[in-house]
Amino acid sequence: MRYLESAPRFLFFTGKGGVGKTSVACATSVRLATRERRVLLVSTDPASNLGQVFGMTIGNRVTQIAAVPGLAALEIDPEQAAEAYRERIIGPLRGHMPEAEIAGITESLSGSCTTEIASFDEFTQLLTDDVAYGRYDHIIFDTAPTGHTLRLLQLPGAWTEFLSGGGDASCLGPLAGLDKHRATYSAAVDALTDPARTRLILVARPQPSALKEIERTYSELRAIGIADGFVVINGVLPEIAGEEPIARAVRHREAVALSAIPAAIADLPRDVLELKAANVVDLDALRAFFTPEPADTAARAAVDPADLPNAPLVALVDQIQSDGHGLVMCMGKGGVGKTTIAAAVALALAERGHEVLLTTTDPAANLTDTLGETVDRLTVARIDPDSALAQYRSHVMATKGRDLDEPGRAALAEDLMSPCTAEVAVFQQFSRAVHDSRRTFVVMDTAPTGHTLLLLDAAGSYHREIARQMGAANMAYSTPLMRLQDPAQTKVILVTLAETTPVLEAADLQGDLERAGIHPWAWVVNSSIAAAHPRSAFLRTRARNEVAQIERVRELADRLAIVPLLSEEPIGVAQLAALTGGMPQLA
């Protein structure tokens, strides 16, 4: 592996969700540990599954992997980190301040911004605290889906600048507390931008969207000084998958994607890893991860998959259409095909004569590329964080700032530089889309799970505030969260792949949603090899591995649709229409 040659102390694995970052990072950790190196593997992903891969509980503490001498692991849990962060701020104030003031501080520390800075505090310690972590030769980061990673990695520079500017830190705690960490933040920036200490490994599948994503990631990280990049193309279909039509089609798609690799990353050192017949979920699989699979492995294990339920996507569209309007939210881990499913559902509704708004809150999504052309009655939009932020700041300055004097306007403008402002701005546009669904269909392709939960947290905070105000006045009211909780107005569709990790993460997401009073309406298993009914031993082995996961989804889901792996990439109107059985005629 070229990215392991003269490996520095810090290795960052990043890329679009679902490309196999965790598998590559875990296998790398095992490989380095077997070279008698002391290795700490860290996940900064809110949906981390290191414990599942190693078959043990890890959590938010350094845990030795007993079966691999020299290897330890740590999962930075955002919620635990946020709770500890709040206690560090609020604990010393108890008994010294009125309860009302402490309650106000607690409320200000309940948002997503606090969670972000709390996780970041732990992250910077790993980069700078030689007393606690100096014994490790390598610290390997299995980072979160790309959008979250960028926010996390950009925080060292952003917070250093923010502190220098004296910005409003009400959502982060007293500014003096943050200012004490200025030197730590500066040291973290130095470590991240030093190629002798830090290496960036951009992981992608041989797919255009995944390759574009690592190009965007590399360009943005290079702009903040992280430039020592390597590319890993993971999950390339091996020759032992056979020559049946679907295998040849997948190989062709992969070859075309790799031949058109974006220019910004084309010249970076590159490694290619083959797809495995079995899921990478135990130590034996990690040890064999970099070794080509023997030709007879799949043949020995292959069995025909069990009969699958008859669960076409068009059946869900039929039920959605029957309500005449509403919000459809496609949610799940990044890389499972939420954009594709959202576009297919929106297209089917439009072709049936309904006015449809197809929108996304995902910074990495490109709905226009997915559709490929305009469609009657289908409007495509994107909630762009930068645009939303600019509009929100202008609106606040024009309203709240209108009657302020110059010092007051300057203070308000400074307050709007808080990182929390972007979340509020996006939430406002999200709320408008929810409102529009009362009279038309709105199909929303949401961001990867971490972003989605932050968005729903914003909805919950807004709901609590409105409930306090309106409840006191005994007035009728409706908030976005109430609409999300009402199955007559909102249908949440969880999209997953028939693989262990995506199903586990979707199940965790279902639990989080239900704690917020939102029950998923349906699940979609996307790109199922089993549903494509392959013939080769390798692909039948992959299909057999899917059956247990599909059964697990059936236990969790009220409704289920299974979309087969297609020989053609589901891009463009014709291919998307095929997912829902073509373009039905109006009755």
| Secondary structure, 3-state, 88-113 | HHHHHHCCCCCHHHHHHHHHHCCCHH
Share of the chain above pLDDT 90, in %: 33
How many domains is the chain built from?
Answer: 2
CA distance 323 to 321: 5
pLDDT of residue 169: 43
Summarised one tens digit per residue, pLDDT across range 348-392 is 999 999 999 998 876 656 677 778 778 899 988 877 777 878 888
Does residue 473 have a pLDDT over 60?
A: no
- Specify if 493 maps to a domain: yes
DSSP state of 375: B
CA distance 144 to 14: 7
- Specify if 308 maps to a domain: no
Q: Where are the beta strands (DSSP E) in 448-558?
A: 490-497, 522-528
Q: Same domain for 37 and 92?
A: yes
Summarised one tens digit per residue, pLDDT across range 282-311 is 888 899 999 988 777 666 666 666 678 889
Q: To 5 degrees, how large is the angle CA 201–CA 206–CA 212?
A: 65
pLDDT of residue 488: 84
- Specify if 96 maps to a domain: yes
Other C-beta atoms within 10 Å of 154: how many? Answer: 17
CA distances from 582 to 276, 358, 376, 494 (A): 33, 19, 16, 22
- Specify if 458 maps to a domain: yes
pTM across the whole model: 0.75
- Specify if 296 maps to a domain: no
Q: 251: closest CA among 558, 549, 545, 538?
A: 538
Q: Same domain for 331 and 451?
A: yes
Burial label for 117, CB within 10 Å (0-12, 13-18, 19+), is buried
Q: Same domain for 575 and 494?
A: yes
Q: Same domain for 407 and 475?
A: yes
Q: Same domain for 324 and 257?
A: no
Q: Same domain for 230 and 374?
A: no
Q: Same domain for 340 and 235?
A: no
Residues 126-142 have a mean pLDDT of 91
Q: Same domain for 240 and 333?
A: no
Q: Where are the alpha helices (DSSP H) in 129-180?
A: 130-133, 146-164, 175-179
Summarised one tens digit per residue, pLDDT across range 533-566 is 898 889 988 898 899 899 999 999 999 999 998 8
Mean per-residue pLDDT of the chain: 81
CA distance 497 to 552: 12
> Which of 287, 321, 339 corresponds to the end of one domain?
287
Does residue 260 contact residue 215 with C-beta atoms inside 8 Å?
A: no
Does residue 418 contact residue 113 with C-beta atoms inside 8 Å?
A: yes
Q: Same domain for 340 and 220?
A: no
Q: Same domain for 277 and 339?
A: no
* Assigned token pair, 427: 């939430």
Does residue 469 have a pLDDT over 90?
A: no
State which of 97-101, 339-343, 469-473 shows the largest mean pLDDT.
339-343
Strand-pairing partners, residue 360, are: 382, 445
pLDDT of residue 584: 37
Q: Which range, of 54-58, 187-191, 393-397, averages the lowest pLDDT?
A: 187-191
Residues 388-408 have a mean pLDDT of 86
Does residue 323 contact residue 412 with C-beta atoms inside 8 Å?
A: no
Element at 39 (helix H, strand E):
strand 39-43
Q: Same domain for 392 and 532?
A: yes
CA distance 500 to 545: 9
Q: Which residues are catalytic?
A: 18, 20-23, 45, 501
Q: Which domain holds residue 550?
A: 313-579
* Assigned token pair, 350: 């439009």
Does residue 462 contact residue 427 with C-beta atoms inside 8 Å?
A: yes
Does residue 225 have a pLDDT over 70?
A: yes
Q: Same domain for 478 and 391?
A: yes
> Which of 287, 303, 323 corresponds to the end of one domain?
287
- Specify if 443 maps to a domain: yes
pLDDT confidence bin for 501, thresholds 50/70/90: confident
What's 322's domain CATH number? 3.40.50.300
- Specify if 151 maps to a domain: yes
- Specify if 301 maps to a domain: no
